[in-house]
Amino acid sequence: MNGRLIPILERTDVKAITPDNLYDRVDYSLLDKYAKFSHRGHVCDIERTISAIGVGFDHLAIEKPGNISEVEFHETEAVDVVVDGLKKLYPAWFGDQEALEAVEKPVSDLHLSKADLVETYFNNEIQVNPDPISASDWTDQKAVIMPIMAIALEKLEAQIRADKHTTIETSQQRIKRAIVEEAVKGGLTRGEIHEAVKDAEELLKNV
């Protein structure tokens, strides 16, 4: 759909397309904050991501009977399309083992979860948006994609912090082992070893 190629963030009034009960609890500023970033081996461009996830609606619509322009999705279907699309694009964020093996630095055990994203979106409600989502209406689709993307980014912030903490802890352990090994070889005193480890830890805190 050609509409997916436009500057999405700039030309979308998220307040206008989002139900009030969802808009009030989603931090849409994160879409701008993380417009382009790298994390766990993935390079993410938010606008391209939103557009790519939108293609998932086309694929699902083709599987349904009737004219594609008349196909509509229930909100739960639409949410599945979005979260599954996000998981396919960025598997390492969701803890996919094969994807994590390609990441060059240590990561935490904090991963995104489809169940958690869906639960956060609906917030114990049967439905957020009472209207069906049209397979041919990009605005309808963005009304589901963009809040889920913002919800995912909020949880991703916590993951980024946890990963950084894990990286620092792992580096500290490696440095401690290296210092102790060198101390044994070089005859450093216990006090000198303690000071060297302490200096290394302080340096890593500022990384």
pLDDT at residue 45 is higher than 50: yes
Structural domain boundaries in the chain: 2-163
Four-residue CA torsion sign, 175, 180, 185, 188:
positive
b vs e for 156-169, b when ≥16 Cβ sit within 10 Å of the residue's Cβ? beebbeebeebbee
In this prediction, residue 1 carries a pLDDT of: 47
In this prediction, residue 169 carries a pLDDT of: 82
Q: What is the pLDDT of residues 174-191, one digit of tens each?
A: 777 776 766 666 666 677
The number of residues making up the chain comes to 207
Q: Could you tell me if 180 and 62 are in contact, meaning their C-beta atoms sit under 8 angstroms apart?
A: no
The rounded percent of the chain whose pLDDT value lies above 70 is: 84
In this prediction, residue 83 carries a pLDDT of: 98
Q: What is the pLDDT of residues 19-36, one digit of tens each?
A: 888 888 999 999 999 999
- What pTM did the predictor assign? 0.83
In this prediction, residue 183 carries a pLDDT of: 65
